[in-house]
Amino acid sequence: YIVIPRGILYHFEITSSGDNRFLVMESAGPVETPKRYRNEYGQLLEHAPF
């Protein structure tokens, strides 16, 4: 995963000749995982689908 904060200019140079796939998400606020998938320190649990 690559997290790019809003307002940052970026440029990707794709050098592989294979099939490239991207998932782009934009959000007006923070993106958080549900609490049921995190431990008391905020780390993702092993069964988390993320």
The answer to whether residues 45 and 38 touch, using CB atoms and an 8 Å cutoff, is yes
Question: What pLDDT is stored for residue 27 in this prediction?
Answer: 85
Share of the chain above pLDDT 70, in %: 100
Q: How far apart are CA 6 and CA 13, in angstroms?
A: 20
The answer to whether residues 50 and 38 touch, using CB atoms and an 8 Å cutoff, is no
Please write the tens of the pLDDT for every residue from 26-47.
Answer: 888 888 889 999 999 999 999 9
The answer to whether residues 42 and 34 touch, using CB atoms and an 8 Å cutoff, is no
Half-sphere exposure (CA, 13 Å, Cβ side) for 48?
14
Residue 1 predicted with pLDDT over 80: no
Which DSSP state fits 38? B
Q: Mean of the per-residue pLDDT values for the chain? A: 87
Question: What pLDDT is stored for residue 38 in this prediction?
Answer: 94
